[in-house]
């Protein structure tokens, strides 16, 4: 049984969806939880079409049903977890009826989905940004973890909790400590022993204070605490929520350096642009995918002229700043990763040459890699045990009201990618512009016609965009992608309410009104 | 052993795991059976009949790609009856279809010493359909092997945009009411192109270069790497001609892709070389 929550995998992770559908053809039941009736939802046995931002209410009610009906995995919970009683107490009031009123789905469907998930031999949960692009993103994830732990659907093949990564190397970046409070290998910067290891290897002193996450950086820019920014391979001026507000923060910078393959909107504002005109097709190195599979990236062509890659640029900059950084190859960097990160230790370039990737943890060179994590939870004695984290549902940061009565949710479409820098102009027959997806009933009430312009207004900004009438969205909810920011800067509308832990903004839930544009 | 099946292929005794097809069993004893429609990552369609073999006691020849080995079977992969059947299969295909870019069909014609010219009559000659920016359909080259239909359907993409329409000589691949692809359910993943064995389906870049006489197979270098888009980690084989990517495929044996890609992985690579064509943003 496969429970996809807030994921339109058929469009955003198409080849992963091939695997899901293989499972479906072999008898796996697919349940999709999504406010939109996406291409993915249309393939599901059951589509739970809940209101935007009500996932925690749904999951708490599923937990309520599973406990009430005795469907939880008692042996697993008693052996491997802590805090069951607190979880039970916390979901006591989360009856399916209470959640149904919030989510807008029938109580019987909540019960049915809860039973299906709990009673499956093997059930896995996968999610994408529908879970994490909320102001309470971490709570959303914790709710799903509670559900999986309660039913013992972790640590065995065919089970588990799977965040589907949106970019090629999100996993690898995290593995390498590209997080404000982490060192490579996910060691905390507060871990003195780990810090000392890296200090010894790098010959520098490392701060024990976590840095700032992206949202905190923007806040600090506004307050003048951060005055210089070095952006590598990101386009935050169009990809971040509430872009007008972001632009104000950027205007206060004293120095902006942007390093990118192409001239992005952010690069156009930079004081210095490092043209890293070396794309994936001209690079060597590794990417680590969503299933922790480390794979070799090989250069297939020559970059134009004197273009340099990110690694060369960083080292050259360090030398200019007075540090004796040598020119190193990607292979040499990987050798250092192996030395410093135990989960990567057994992965060598030579092994990667001869395999379709290796899944970490891979502690030594004879280790085959690890397809399934957390198998230790099925040991006789589990140390340490894992804790339930009961979480309460709270509504999206911006409630709907008479002035802004529509829920705007944003996401990707199959043929495009993020701010469109890579995916424009490759010959796809789909229109090369944005459109607003709106339910025909709403369109009729507003006097909107297919293909005609509408104005979308939030408390932060407004834009005009052609409309497409579709029952993919329910009445009251509208959808925009952010693939064509030049004509349709979707993120002038979105809200920058962010999760306090992860710093992720609530791209999935803004309040807007829609107006007919007289043409 | 309970899980294996013993049989005889061309006089050679062989034991294979239960569920092994006659095609795979024959391969195990080194007697490869020719195939056209069979593909390692697709369910057998039993369409082409090139892989027929003779099973003693069976009235009709059987398709080795899908028939499963049974205990005590006596199989002949090259009996006169088999060879005659294969020869006619090759002759009928080659007499009606343009096989100039279909190496497996051409090999079968040669191997069976076929004489397609024995079969006078109609040829399949619909016009080339160049109706989207990503791939071109030249059904004069189509042998109706069903691979594209399977890859678009339950075997990989699950989009079900195309099927075989019509009967007999009028049978053809159709996206519904003879529609152009952009009007159909097609999502332009190009997995149909990837599995097409005859060049009936071709990426538009390759098709254009061939039209211009600039497609030079010998000068193309391939490099296996990993897609730069989402986090699934699809293996890509980049085909590079004169330092330009001209085609993207994926290895059939890769555990993530099984040779299949999405529209961005297969086609959205132009930004990489935008500076050469001058139609993209530059630094």
pLDDT digits (tens, 9 = 90+) for B185-199: 999 999 999 999 999
| CA–CA dist A36, A4 (Å, integer) | 13
Strand partners, A286: A296
pLDDT tens for residues A357-373?
999 999 999 999 999 99
Residue A313, CA distances (Å) to A276, A308, B279 in order: 8, 7, 26
Could you tell me if A412 and A481 are in contact, meaning their C-beta atoms sit under 8 angstroms apart? yes
pLDDT at A424 over 90: no
Q: How confident is the model at residue B276 (pLDDT cuts 50, 70, 90)?
A: low
Task: Check CB contact under 8 Å for B232 and A262.
Answer: no
Could you tell me if A434 and A483 are in contact, meaning their C-beta atoms sit under 8 angstroms apart? yes
pLDDT tens for residues A51-94?
999 999 999 999 999 999 999 999 999 999 999 999 999 999 99
Q: How confident is the model at residue B283 (pLDDT cuts 50, 70, 90)?
A: very low
Residues in chain B: 283
Residue-level pLDDT at B86: 97
DSSP state string for A333-379: HHHHHHHH-GGGTT--HHHHHTSS-EESP--STT----SS--GGGGS
**A306 vs B: CB within 8 A:** no
Task: Check CB contact under 8 Å for A422 and B254.
Answer: no
Task: Check CB contact under 8 Å for A13 and B234.
Answer: no
Residue-level pLDDT at B198: 97
The CA-based angle A192-A198-A200, given to 5 degrees, is 100
pLDDT at B281 over 50: no
A60 phi-psi bin (left φ>0, alpha ψ -120 to 50, beta other)? alpha
- Chain B residues with CB under 8 Å of A411 CB are none
Provide, rounded to the nearest whole percent, the portion of chain A with pLDDT above 70. 100
Q: How confident is the model at residue B125 (pLDDT cuts 50, 70, 90)?
A: confident
Interface of A with B in 440-479 (CB under 8 A): none
pLDDT at A422 over 70: yes
| Three-state DSSP state, A199 | helix
Task: Check CB contact under 8 Å for B270 and A427.
Answer: yes
Task: Check CB contact under 8 Å for A15 and B234.
Answer: yes
Could you tell me if B200 and B136 are in contact, meaning their C-beta atoms sit under 8 angstroms apart? no
User: Of A262, A295, A427, which has the smallest distance from its Cβ to B280's Cβ?
Assistant: A262
The CA distance from A87 to the nearest CA of chain B, in Å, is 33
Residue-level pLDDT at B2: 64
The CA-based angle A301-A305-A308, given to 5 degrees, is 75
Task: Check CB contact under 8 Å for B238 and A301.
Answer: yes
What predicted TM-score, i.e. pTM, was given to this entire model? Answer: 0.95
Nearest one of B141, B152, B240 to B194, comparing CA atoms: B152
The total of other beta-carbon atoms located within 10 Å of residue B43's CB is 15
What the block records as the tokens of A125 is 């949960």
Match 């920014």 to its residue by tokens: A229
| CA–CA dist A304, A244 (Å, integer) | 35
CA-only gyration radius of chain A, Å: 24
User: Of A21, A167, A298, which has the smallest distance from its Cβ to B223's Cβ?
Assistant: A298
DSSP state string for A447-506: T--TT-EEEEEESS-EEEEEEEE-TTSPTTEEEEESS-TTT--GGGTSEEEE-TTT--EE
Top-confidence residue, A306 or B251: B251
| CA–CA dist A52, A406 (Å, integer) | 11
The CA distance from B282 to the nearest CA of chain A, in Å, is 5
Provide, rounded to the nearest whole percent, the portion of chain B with pLDDT above 90. 91
pLDDT tens for residues A187-245?
999 999 999 999 999 999 999 999 999 999 999 999 999 999 999 999 999 999 999 99
Q: How confident is the model at residue A276 (pLDDT cuts 50, 70, 90)?
A: confident
Determine whether A419 is exposed, middle or buried from the number of CB atoms within 10 Å of its CB (0-12, 13-18, 19+). Answer: buried
| CA–CA dist A456, A407 (Å, integer) | 11
Nearest one of A295, A291, A296 to A370, comparing CA atoms: A291
Task: Check CB contact under 8 Å for B158 and A17.
Answer: yes
| CA–CA dist B40, B43 (Å, integer) | 8
What the block records as the tokens of A135 is 């102001």
Cα nearest neighbour of A283 on chain B:
B225
What the block records as the tokens of B14 is 């062989």
- Chain B residues with CB under 8 Å of A170 CB are 231
Secondary structure tally for chain B: helices H, strands E: 8, 12
| CA–CA dist A332, B84 (Å, integer) | 60
The total of other beta-carbon atoms located within 10 Å of residue A399's CB is 10
- Chain B residues with CB under 8 Å of A425 CB are 270-271, 274, 279-280
| CA–CA dist A514, B6 (Å, integer) | 71
What the block records as the tokens of A163 is 């965040």
- Chain A residues with CB under 8 Å of B247 CB are none
Cα nearest neighbour of A301 on chain B:
B243
pLDDT tens for residues A140-177?
999 999 999 999 999 999 999 999 999 999 999 999 99
Summarize the confidence of residues B80-104 as an average pLDDT: 96
Determine whether B136 is exposed, middle or buried from the number of CB atoms within 10 Å of its CB (0-12, 13-18, 19+). Answer: buried
Summarize the confidence of residues B55-68 as an average pLDDT: 96
Nearest one of A396, A472, A430 to A42, comparing CA atoms: A472
- Strands A477-481, A495-498: pairing kind: unpaired
Q: How confident is the model at residue A425 (pLDDT cuts 50, 70, 90)?
A: confident
Task: Check CB contact under 8 Å for B271 and A262.
Answer: yes
| CA–CA dist A240, A244 (Å, integer) | 10
Q: Is the dihedral of CA A153, A154, A159, A160 positive or negative?
A: positive
Q: How confident is the model at residue B209 (pLDDT cuts 50, 70, 90)?
A: very high
**A9 vs B: CB within 8 A:** no
The CA distance from A415 to the nearest CA of chain B, in Å, is 6
Q: Is the dihedral of CA B199, B205, B211, B216 positive or negative?
A: negative
- Strands of the sheet containing A46-48, edge to edge, are A46-48, A30-33, A2-5, A124-127, A160-163
B160 phi-psi bin (left φ>0, alpha ψ -120 to 50, beta other)? left
- Strands A406-411, A386-387: pairing kind: unpaired
Task: Check CB contact under 8 Å for A301 and B254.
Answer: no
The CA distance from A378 to the nearest CA of chain B, in Å, is 27
Taking the CA of residue B173 as centre, how many other CA atoms within 13 Å lie in the half-sphere pointing to its CB?
Answer: 28
Q: Name the maximum alpha-carbon separation found in chain A.
A: 71
Q: How confident is the model at residue A123 (pLDDT cuts 50, 70, 90)?
A: very high
| CA–CA dist A445, A517 (Å, integer) | 14
What the block records as the tokens of A37 is 């009736």
The mean-pLDDT minimum among A76-80, A296-300, B124-128, B171-175 falls in B124-128
The total of other beta-carbon atoms located within 10 Å of residue B1's CB is 8
CA-only gyration radius of chain B, Å: 21
- Strands A510-516, A406-411: pairing kind: antiparallel
pLDDT at B275 over 70: no
| CA–CA dist B93, B118 (Å, integer) | 12
Residues in chain A: 519
């Amino acid at each position: 049984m496969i429970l996809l929550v807030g994921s339109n995998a058929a469009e955003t992770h198409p080849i992963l969806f091939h695997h899901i559908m293989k499972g479906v053809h072999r008898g796996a039941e697919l349940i999709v939880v999504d406010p939109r009736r996406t291409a993915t939802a249309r393939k599901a046995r059951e589509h739970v079409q809940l209101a935007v931002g009500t996932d925690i209410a749904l999951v708490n009610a599923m937990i309520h049903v599973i406990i009430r009906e005795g469907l939880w995995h008692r042996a697993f919970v008693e052996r491997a977890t802590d805090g069951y009683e607190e979880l039970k107490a916390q979901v006591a009031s989360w009856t399916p009826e209470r959640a149904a009123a919030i989510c807008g789905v029938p109580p019987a469907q909540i019960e049915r989905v809860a039973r299906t998930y709990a009673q499956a031999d093997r059930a896995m949960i996968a999610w994408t940004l529908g879970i994490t692009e909320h102001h309470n993103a971490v709570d959303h994830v914790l709710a799903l973890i509670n559900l999986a732990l309660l039913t013992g659907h972790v640590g065995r093949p065919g089970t588990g909790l799977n965040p589907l990564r949106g970019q090629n190397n999100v996993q690898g970046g995290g593995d390498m400590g590209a997080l404000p409070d982490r060192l490579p290998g996910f060691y905390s910067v507060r871990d003195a022993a780990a810090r000392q290891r890296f200090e010894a290897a790098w010959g520098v002193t490392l701060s024990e204070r976590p840095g700032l996450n992206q949202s905190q950086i923007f806040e600090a820019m506004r307050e003048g605490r951060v005055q210089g920014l070095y952006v590598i391979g990101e386009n935050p001026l169009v990809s971040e929520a509430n872009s007008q507000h972001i632009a104000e923060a950027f205007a206060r910078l004293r120095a902006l350096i942007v390093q990118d393959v192409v001239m992005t909107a952010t690069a156009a504002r930079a004081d210095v642009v490092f043209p890293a005109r070396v794309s994936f097709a001209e690079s060597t190195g590794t990417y680590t995918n969503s299933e922790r599979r480390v794979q070799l990236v090989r250069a297939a062509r020559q970059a134009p002229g004197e273009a340099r890659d990110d690694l060369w640029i960083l080292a050259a900059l360090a030398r200019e700043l007075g540090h004796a950084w040598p020119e190193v190859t990607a292979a040499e960097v990987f050798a250092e990763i192996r030395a410093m990160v135990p989960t990567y230790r057994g992965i060598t370039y030579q092994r990667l040459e001869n395999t379709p990737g290796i899944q970490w943890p891979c502690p030594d060179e004879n280790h085959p890699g690890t397809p399934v994590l957390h198998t230790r939870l099925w040991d006789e004695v589990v140390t340490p045990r894992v804790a339930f984290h009961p979480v309460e549902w709270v509504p999206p940061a911006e409630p709907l009201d008479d002035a802004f009565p529509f829920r705007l949710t944003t996401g990707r479409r199959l043929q495009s990618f993020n701010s469109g820098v890579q995916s424009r102009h490759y010959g796809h027959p789909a229109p090369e512009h944005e459109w607003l997806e709106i339910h025909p009933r709403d369109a009729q009430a507003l006097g909107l016609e297919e293909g005609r312009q509408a104005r979308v207004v939030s408390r932060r900004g407004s834009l005009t965009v052609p409309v497409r009438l579709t029952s993919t969205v329910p009445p009251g909810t509208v959808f925009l992608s952010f693939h064509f920011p030049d004509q349709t800067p979707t993120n002038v509308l979105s809200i920058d309410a962010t999760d306090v832990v992860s710093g992720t903004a609530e791209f999935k839930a803004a309040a807007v009104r829609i107006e007919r544009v007289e043409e | 052993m309970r899980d294996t099946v013993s049989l005889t292929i061309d006089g050679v005794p062989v034991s294979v795991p239960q569920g092994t097809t006659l095609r795979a069993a024959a391969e195990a004893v080194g007697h490869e059976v020719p195939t056209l429609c069979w593909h390692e990552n697709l369910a057998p369609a039993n369409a082409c009949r090139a892989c027929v073999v003779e099973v003693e006691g069976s009235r009709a020849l059987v398709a080795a790609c899908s028939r499963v080995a049974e205990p005590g079977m006596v199989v002949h992969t090259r009996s006169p009856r088999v060879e005659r059947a294969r020869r006619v299969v090759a002759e009928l295909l080659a007499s009606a279809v343009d096989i100039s870019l279909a190496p497996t069909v051409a090999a079968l014609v040669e191997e069976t010493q076929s004489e397609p010219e024995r079969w006078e009559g109609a040829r399949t000659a619909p016009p080339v359909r160049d109706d989207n920016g990503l791939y071109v359909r030249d059904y004069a080259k189509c042998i109706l092997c069903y691979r594209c239909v399977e890859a678009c359907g339950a075997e990989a993409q699950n989009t079900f945009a195309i099927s075989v329409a019509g009967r007999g000589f009028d049978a053809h691949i159709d996206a519904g009411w003879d529609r152009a692809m952009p009007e159909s359910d097609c999502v332009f993943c190009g997995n149909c192109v990837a599995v097409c064995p005859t060049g009936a389906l071709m990426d538009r870049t390759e098709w254009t270069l061939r039209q211009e006489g600039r497609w030079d197979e010998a000068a193309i270098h391939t490099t296996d790497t990993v897609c730069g888009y989402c986090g699934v980690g699809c293996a890509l084989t980049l085909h590079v001609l004169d330092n330009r990517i001209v085609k993207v495929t994926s290895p059939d044996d890769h555990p993530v892709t099984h040779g299949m890609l999405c529209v961005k992985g297969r086609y959205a690579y132009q930004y990489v070389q935008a500076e050469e064509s001058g139609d993209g943003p530059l630094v």
